[in-house]
Amino acid sequence: FGDLYGLSDKQVVLPTTLEYLAFGCFNSIEKLTYQSWIGGTIKCCKEQICLSDASYIYDGGKAEGLDISYTRTFSNTWGTLVLPFAMMLTGDEPYSLYVIESMNADELVLRRVEGQTEAGTPYLVKRNGEQKKLSFEAQKAFVTFDNTKASPVEGSTLSFSGTYKAKDVTSGYIIRNDRFWDVARIRETSAGTQAIKVGPFRSWLDGDEANGASVLSLHIGDDVAFYDLNGKRLSTPQRGINIVKRGNKTMKVIIK
């Protein structure tokens, strides 16, 4: 058993493929690290859960008072996320989390989340800086894999939904290259593609096509940038002609 899992005499790290564990296996162990979710823990010692996209995930189950983390490498600036535990955001993380508040034409309006997050709630993740490998973690957390929450998107027929396991979807929108793309149109342009896979611990927009848009851009609410006519960014608007960029929309504003 020790050779199989790479154990010391006091600590055990279980593999991502583990699906079942019998009670009493590790009565003499001081610390047990799970890299999969087997529907609960055996509470024989100090335990922690370290999840990744490779982790086996059992449907349902709960646990209390555990240190838990989920780690993923993000190749783009934006991604999606749903976690089976809540976190307390300090503002110093190398990422920011957002919820979708509404939709205007072909644009999703986002609101940044501060403080406490909610388990099972879908979020958008924005990397702050160059760090690509991000870890989301909580100490002494309540962990539940029973279900996820769908958040309706105001101004559309869509809901922001999440999944803890890889899922095939045939409609709605998935995130790619920092935008949401219509699944039905992706299928039409990819011969023989019956469904698009959403990875584990990720979210997608579930529902019918929104206002005929094939692509939905992202706009952070109240995120406005000002530039002069030479393209230099301004901290505040100046007298004369200003270039104002709000989301993916740009306009000229004259201030007297």
Instruction: Give the burial string for 51-74 (b: 16+ CB within 10 Å, else e).
Output: bbeebbbeeebebeebebbbebeb
Element (H, E) at 226: strand 224-227
Instruction: Give the burial string for 105-128 (b: 16+ CB within 10 Å, else e).
Output: ebbbbbebbeeebebbbbbbbbbe
Nearest Cα to Cα of residue 252 among 227, 244, 236? 244
Cα–Cα dist 203/97, whole Å: 13
Residue 5 in this model has a pLDDT that exceeds 50: yes
What is residue 61's three-state secondary structure?
coil
With a CB cutoff of 8 Å and minimum separation 6, the contacts of 111 are 98, 99, 101, 220, 221
Cα–Cα dist 203/148, whole Å: 10
Min mean pLDDT across 5-19, 53-67, 148-162 is at: 5-19
Q: What is the pLDDT of residues 109-149, one digit of tens each?
A: 999 999 999 999 999 999 999 999 999 999 999 999 999 99
Determine contact, residues 150/207, Cβ cutoff 8 Å: no
Q: What is the pLDDT of residues 209-231, one digit of tens each?
A: 666 789 999 988 766 677 888 88
